[in-house]
């Protein structure tokens, strides 16, 4: 299949007009000037008036949540079979919305693993999934209702081993309180520095990447000093956090959509404790994002999709939020493509380059000039995963 006629954004910042992209057997075989393909007689996708991008990558979702006003309460009412089907439906909605891969940062009883594996085998269409399994938190910690509760270094090491045994792709450890759990404060560090270090070290020993829900300052520092791969949210980042994250090359996954959707729907049944905490953190969240962006820190797109009114399939709107907070459109697109692939560990996705998997998104117009062309799915003209059209 040859994509020709429009522009190409390569995922690393390169933008070329009048290029052709040839796909064979699910991979990109050639990217070059249209003249190179003069004799081509196979299937063609006309990209005139549009831009071909790598498929977008969302580095923070919860596929078992539906975006209801109270996801915890909704999940309690669902059977295991209903949850599994919800995970599949959300992975398919993500793909339809231009998201060809997601990192699930906490599920329910490992039910999402079966969906991940079925999509990987080609049994069902859907965004590729990399999954953490059960989040690991302290007694009474953020997400404790569904997490693997562990206290003390030895028990945390055991919890990491359980996730690896179950088949996780990454390990997620809860460093602080959060907005969506009653009775916890996002500013509080939950695990101690030695506890965080024990969990991250064990995950690395078993060749798993790591992520940490980390909103409060001390919790961010504990996670970064432990060697965490990514800080999720990072709301109360300060100058010390900034310096240590930059030195370590730590990723920030900001999830702007999470708080924004709570505040934008505060009168639609969201628990009052969540609304109050969202209001308390909103401005600080914006400041931390801008701080890390201005300093040149590595940022990957993540939405926290599944949290209140934060819908799977609408993930791409995070691009517009990142631009609204100070990124250029090209920087936001990089955060959602090559940077996301780097964080997750995909060495053949997130770019339009020869040999890469043909995960592609075609949009109308030029998203480097106007981010809404990629952020608003009304402007999406087509999505392909490994060269196969979605939907």
For all residues of the chain together, what is the average pLDDT? 97
CA angle (321 as vertex; 339, 67 as ends), nearest 5:
95
User: Pairing mode, if any, of strands 298-299 and 251-253?
Assistant: parallel
Q: Report percent pLDDT > 90 for the chain.
A: 98
pLDDT at residue 21 tops 90:
yes
pTM over 0.85: yes
Q: What was the pLDDT predicted at 258? A: 98
The tokens for 220 are 């961010």
Largest Cα separation within the chain, whole Å, is: 66
Taking the alpha carbons at both ends of the chain, their separation in whole angstroms is: 17
Q: Determine the average pLDDT of the residues in 269-295.
A: 98
Convert the pLDDT of each residue in 192-218 to its tens digit: 999 999 999 999 999 999 999 999 999
Convert the pLDDT of each residue in 144-187 to its tens digit: 999 999 999 999 999 999 999 999 999 999 999 999 999 999 99
pLDDT at residue 64 tops 90:
yes
| Of residues 311, 329, 309, 331, the one with CA closest to residue 320 | 329
Q: What was the pLDDT predicted at 202? A: 98
Convert the pLDDT of each residue in 82-140 to its tens digit: 999 999 999 999 999 999 999 999 999 999 999 999 999 999 999 999 999 999 999 99
Q: Give yes or no for a contact between 229 and 210, defined as CB atoms under 8 angstroms apart.
A: yes
Q: What structural domains does the chain harbor?
A: 2-54+350-389 (2.30.40.10), 56-315 (3.20.20.140)
Q: Give yes or no for a contact between 16 and 342, defined as CB atoms under 8 angstroms apart.
A: no
Q: Determine the average pLDDT of the residues in 232-258.
A: 98
pLDDT at residue 391 tops 80:
no
**43 — pLDDT class (breaks 50, 70, 90):** very high
Tally the residues of the chain.
391
- Tell the residue number behind the tokens 């970064």, with chain if given: 224
* DSSP-derived secondary structure for 65-112: ----SSHHHHHHT--HHHHHHHHHHHHHHHHHTTEEEEEE---STTHH
Helices (H) and strands (E) in the chain, counts: 13, 20
Distance set, CA 111 to CA 209, 239, 304, 361 (Å): 20, 39, 18, 29
Q: Determine the average pLDDT of the residues in 210-231.
A: 98
The tokens for 365 are 């117009």
| Of residues 10, 13, 19, the one with CA closest to residue 2 | 19
Convert the pLDDT of each residue in 304-347 to its tens digit: 999 999 999 999 999 999 999 999 999 999 999 999 999 999 99
Strand partners, 56: 99
Which of the 8 DSSP states describes residue 229?
S
Quickly list H helices, the chain.
Answer: 71-76, 80-96, 111-121, 153-166, 193-205, 217-226, 239-248, 256-264, 272-294, 317-324, 329-335, 338-344, 372-375
């Amino acid at each position: 299949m040859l994509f020709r006629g429009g522009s190409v954004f390569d995922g690393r910042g390169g933008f070329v007009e009048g290029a052709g992209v040839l796909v064979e057997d699910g991979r990109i075989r050639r990217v070059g000037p249209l003249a190179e393909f003069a004799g081509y007689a196979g299937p063609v996708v006309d990209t005139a008036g549009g831009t071909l991008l790598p498929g977008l990558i969302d580095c923070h979702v919860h596929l078992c949540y539906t975006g209801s006003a109270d996801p915890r309460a909704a999940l309690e009412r669902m059977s295991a079979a209903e949850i599994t089907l919800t995970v599949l439906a959300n992975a398919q909605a993500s793909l339809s919305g231009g998201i060809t891969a997601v990192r699930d940062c906490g599920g329910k009883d490992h039910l999402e693993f079966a969906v991940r594996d079925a999509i990987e085998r080609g049994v069902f269409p859907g965004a590729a999934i990399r999954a953490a399994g059960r989040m690991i938190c302290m007694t009474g910690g953020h997400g404790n209702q569904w997490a693997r509760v562990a206290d003390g270094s030895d028990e945390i090491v055991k919890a990491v081993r359980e996730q690896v045994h179950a088949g996780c792709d990454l390990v997620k450890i809860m460093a602080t309180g959060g907005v969506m759990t009653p009775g916890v404060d996002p500013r509080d560090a939950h695990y101690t520095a030695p506890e965080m270090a024990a969990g991250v070290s064990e995950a690395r020993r078993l060749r798993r990447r790591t992520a940490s829900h980390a909103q409060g300052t001390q919790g961010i520092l504990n996670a970064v000093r432990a060697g965490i791969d990514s800080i999720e949210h990072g709301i109360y980042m300060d100058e010390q956090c900034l310096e240590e994250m930059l030195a370590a090359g730590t990723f920030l996954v900001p999830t702007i959509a999470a708080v924004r959707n709570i505040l934008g729907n505060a009168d639609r049944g969201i628990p009052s404790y969540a609304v109050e905490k969202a209001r308390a953190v909103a401005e600080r969240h914006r400041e931390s994002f801008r701080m890390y962006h201005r300093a040149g820190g590595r940022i990957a797109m993540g939405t926290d999709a599944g949290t209140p009114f934060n819908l799977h399939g609408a993930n791409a709107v995070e691009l517009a939020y990142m631009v609204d907070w100070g990124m250029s459109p090209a920087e936001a697109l990089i955060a959602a493509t090559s940077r996301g692939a780097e964080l997750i560990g995909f060495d053949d996705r997130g770019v339009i380059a020869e040999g890469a998997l043909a995960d592609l998104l075609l949009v109308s117009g030029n998203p480097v000039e106007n981010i809404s062309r990629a952020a608003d799915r009304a402007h999406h003209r087509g999505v392909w995963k490994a060269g196969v059209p979605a939907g």
